[in-house]
Structure 1
C-alpha cells in the first residue's frame, strides 16, 4: 500500500492533480508517460468559476516543481513482525507545457507512474466527491482513508506521518490538542458529511500522549463511493466509444457524458456526423458539445420526461423510505463516534483523583471476569486500554465513555434525540 504526502498543496492544486491523474490512468498502465487535456475540461472538473485559465496554468507549473514524498508499507514482514516503511522522493510532474488552443501537456517520471498506477490509487479519483470538500484537510483525509475501504481500517501509523499526509506541519500543531481540534475533528466531520465513506479516528498512547492514529473506514450507504465504478460503466457506453473514435481523450469523453448524459451526447454526435466535417473533426465535436448543436428542443425533452415521470415518482417514494432508515442508522453511528471523542477529551482534562474515581465506577459496573481482570491489570487507567483488542474496546465504549460523560459531560452528550435535533438544525 502506498500513501503520497502532498499535504502542503492547496485545495485547487489537489483537484487539478486528481484530474491530471484521472486523464492519465489508463495510459499509465499501457506504458505512456506524457498526456494532454484541454484546460477547459480541467476547469469544469475542478468547478473553477473563472475564465482566467492562466491561474490553472500556474497551478500545473507549481505541480511540476513540487517535491513529493511517498510512503510505502511493504507487505513483506520485517524481523520484528511489522510492515516495513519506505520513504522516497520525486516530483508530482516531470514536465509541463501549454499548447496553443488551450491544451495542457504534462508527463510523469517512471517512478511516479509506477506509484500512481497501483490499483489502490485509482480510488483517489473521486472527481465528483472532491468538489464537495471545503479544505485540503478534508480532501487529504478522504484520499488517505478511502483506499482502505476493503479492509475497514488504515491501521495505526505514527502521529507525525498523519500530520505530513494531512498537511498539518505548522508548529502550531505540535500540540496535539490543537491538531485534534483544528484538523482531525473538522476533517473527520467533513469526510463523513460529504463523501462516500464514514471515518473514525482511534488513538494509541505512550505515557498518556497520543503517539499513533488509525482510522476505521466504512462505506456511507447514502452516497456513491467510487467514481471509477461509474467511469467503467461509461466506458462501455456507445456514446463514450464514439467520442474516443472521433478523437476525444478519456477524461474529456467522461466529462461530457457526465455533463450532458449519454442521450444528449449521442444527439451531438449525430449532428456532427451528419455535417461530415473534413477538417479537425475533434475540434468540431467539442464545439458542438459546448454549443449544444443537435440537442433536442425543450418540448421534445418534456414529452420524453413526461413518459417516465410516474415511474420515477413511485421509485422516489420507495427510495425516500429506505434513505430515512439508512440516515437514522448512520446518525446513530456518528453519535457513537462523537461520544467517544467527547469522552476522550474530557478524560484528558481530569486530574489523578478524578481518574481514580472514574476507575472505581467502571470497576463496580464491570461484571465479566475477564474484563474485570483486565481493568485491574491496567490499574484502572483508561489511557492504557488497547482499542485494537475486543475486550478493551468493550470496556471503553460500553463503560468508560458513558461514565465519563455522566461525570463531566453535558446532559445532551448522552441524549441521541437531542443530538439528532442539533444535526437537523444545522443542516
Structure 2
C-alpha cells in the first residue's frame, strides 16, 4: 500500500515551502534568480492555491524575499516573469500503474503594476503544487543565501533525501538534466565535476541546512553514475541566526495581530502591511467600527479583503460630506461664539453696575445735592417732595428708586471697563466667571488676528 507521506509532514512555517519533487526534477534549466522567483511566488500563493487563480505580491516584498539589497530592478523582474511564462514544466506521474507525462508553463500570467506583482498558475499545476504526494521542504531564508544556480538546483534535488541519507544512484545524463547542465562543455566529466558538482557542493555545505558528500561509480574507466550522501549540516546551529524570520518584528505589530484576529492569512496580512501599513490599519479601524454598528454583512475578513483589494476609500469623506460637515461646524462655532459674546455682555453689564454702585457710594453730600437739583429740573420735576437737603436722602421709597435709576444713567456713559480691574473683579467673584471671560477673550483675539 502506498504510504501517504503528506499526512506526516511538519507544519509549514512562514518561510518554508512544500514543493512537488516531480516539478523540482524537471525545471533544471532555470537560472538562479528564476528558480528563487519560482519558490517565492509559490510560497506567497500557497495558502490559496486551490481557492484563487490569481495571486499578488508587493514588489518590495518580492525583492526582499529574493534577497535584493539594492534598489528594485523592475526591468529584470519583468524579464524573469517573461521567462517563467514560457518555461515548460514537466511531470512524470504514475496513474493506474502507467506513466503519464504532462507539460505546462511555470506561470500562465504575469504583471507588474503600481508596485504590485500579479501572477497565475494553471489549475492542474496549482493542485500539484498544493498537495504533492512527495515533497521537499525548501526554506526561503536558506534560498536567499545561494549565489550559484547549480548549487540551489542541486540543493532542491537533494533536500528530500535527508531523511533516508542518500539520493540513490543517478546516471550522469539524468543528473545533467536535473540540474540543467546542458552545455557541451559538460560532456567531459572533469568540467562537469568542477562546475556542477564540486563548486555547488561546497556552497551547499557552507550556506544550507544539509551536508552533501558525492560518490561515483564507473563502468570501465568512465564515470557513469553518481549519488549524494545527504545528512544534516553540523553547522546548522551556526547558520540559524542568519536565517531568522525577516518579518518577526512585523508580526508583533498591532495591525498584523488585528488582521489575524479577523481571520486574514498570515502571508496576506504581511503583504498588505508591506504594501501600505497606514491603509491596512485604516481599513481595520473602519471595518471594526462598522461591525460595532452591526453594519457588516458576512464576515469581517471578507469585508476587509474587499476594501483593500478594491482600493476603496475608507475614512475619507466625499466632497459633499466634507462640505456639509464644514457647514455644520461653522454653524456650531458661530452659535458658540454668539453664546460666549452674550455671556461676556452679561458679565460686563454686571461689572458696570457694580462700578456705578461703588461710584454712587463715594459721592459727597455736596455732589449729591448738585445731582438732585439737576434731577429736579429735568426728569425729576415734581418728584423730589420727600427729599431732605440736609441728609440728601429721599424719604419716599418710590421717589428714591426713581432718582437712583436716573443717577445710574448719568454715570453709565462714562463708565469704561479696565481689563485688569475687570479680571480682578472676576477673580473675586469666582473661577467660573473668570474662565468664561478668558474663553471669550481667546475667541476674540483669534478673530482679531484673522481680520488683521
Query: TM-score with structure 1 length normalisation?
Result: 0.52
Tell which structure's C-alpha radius of gyration is larger. Answer: 2
Query: Which of 242, 267, 270 is residue 251 of structure 1 equivalent to?
Result: 267
Query: Which of 122, 128, 152 is residue 115 of structure 1 equivalent to?
Result: 128
Q: SS of 1:125's equivalent?
A: strand
- Assess if the C-alpha contact under 8 Å between 2:141 and 2:244 holds in 1: no
**Please, which runs of 5 or more residues in structure 2 have no aligned partner?**
1-20, 291-303, 312-452
Return the alpha-carbon distance in structure 1 between the equivalents of residues 187 and 146 of structure 2: 25
Query: Which of 43, 60, 64 is residue 22 of structure 1 equivalent to?
Result: 43
Partner residue in 2 for 1:242: 258
Q: SS of 1:5's equivalent?
A: coil
Return the alpha-carbon distance in structure 1 between the equivalents of residues 173 and 206 of structure 2: 26
Is 1:139 the counterpart of 2:160? The answer is no
Instruction: Report deviation, 1:139.
Output: 0.6
- Assess if the C-alpha contact under 8 Å between 1:15 and 1:46 holds in 2: yes
- Assess if the C-alpha contact under 8 Å between 2:87 and 2:106 holds in 1: yes
Instruction: Report deviation, 1:129.
Output: 0.8
Instruction: Report deviation, 1:20.
Output: 0.4
Partner residue in 1 for 2:181: 168
Partner residue in 1 for 2:112: 98
Q: SS of 1:144's equivalent?
A: helix
- Assess if the C-alpha contact under 8 Å between 1:39 and 1:56 holds in 2: no
- Assess if the C-alpha contact under 8 Å between 1:41 and 1:252 holds in 2: no
Partner residue in 2 for 1:38: 58
- Assess if the C-alpha contact under 8 Å between 1:19 and 1:42 holds in 2: yes
Return the alpha-carbon distance in structure 1 between the equivalents of residues 169 and 30 of structure 2: 25
Query: TM-score with structure 2 length normalisation?
Result: 0.49
Deviates further, 49-58 or 163-172: 49-58
**Cα distance change of structure 1 residues 115 and 274 upon mapping to structure 2, 3 Å threshold:** closer
Deviations 1:256-276 (A, max 9, x none): 99x9xxxxx9x9988986798
Instruction: Report deviation, 1:172.
Output: 0.2
**Cα distance change of structure 1 residues 179 and 189 upon mapping to structure 2, 3 Å threshold:** same
Q: SS of 1:186's equivalent?
A: helix
Q: SS of 2:162's equivalent?
A: coil
Q: SS of 2:107's equivalent?
A: coil
Instruction: Report deviation, 1:125.
Output: 3.4
Is 1:13 the counterpart of 2:27? The answer is no
Q: SS of 2:71's equivalent?
A: coil
Instruction: Report deviation, 1:188.
Output: 0.8
- Assess if the C-alpha contact under 8 Å between 2:259 and 2:284 holds in 1: no
Q: SS of 2:111's equivalent?
A: strand
Partner residue in 2 for 1:50: 71
Return the alpha-carbon distance in structure 1 between the equivalents of residues 136 and 271 of structure 2: 17
Q: SS of 1:203's equivalent?
A: strand
| 1:9-408 correspondence to structure 2 within 5 Å | 9-28=30-49, 30-48=50-68, 49-72=70-93, 87-99=101-113, 101-119=114-132, 123-223=136-236, 242-244=258-260, 250-251=266-267, 253=269, 282=308
Instruction: Report deviation, 1:195.
Output: 0.3
**Cα distance change of structure 1 residues 32 and 235 upon mapping to structure 2, 3 Å threshold:** farther
- Assess if the C-alpha contact under 8 Å between 2:53 and 2:123 holds in 1: yes
- Assess if the C-alpha contact under 8 Å between 2:150 and 2:179 holds in 1: yes
Instruction: Report deviation, 1:118.
Output: 3.6
Instruction: Report deviation, 1:98.
Output: 3.2
**Please, which runs of 5 or more residues in structure 1 have no aligned partner?**
78-83, 260-264, 286-427
**Cα distance change of structure 1 residues 102 and 247 upon mapping to structure 2, 3 Å threshold:** farther
**Cα distance change of structure 1 residues 274 and 235 upon mapping to structure 2, 3 Å threshold:** closer
Deviations 1:216-253 (A, max 9, x none): 2112243279999979x999989755345679764354
- Assess if the C-alpha contact under 8 Å between 2:55 and 2:118 holds in 1: yes
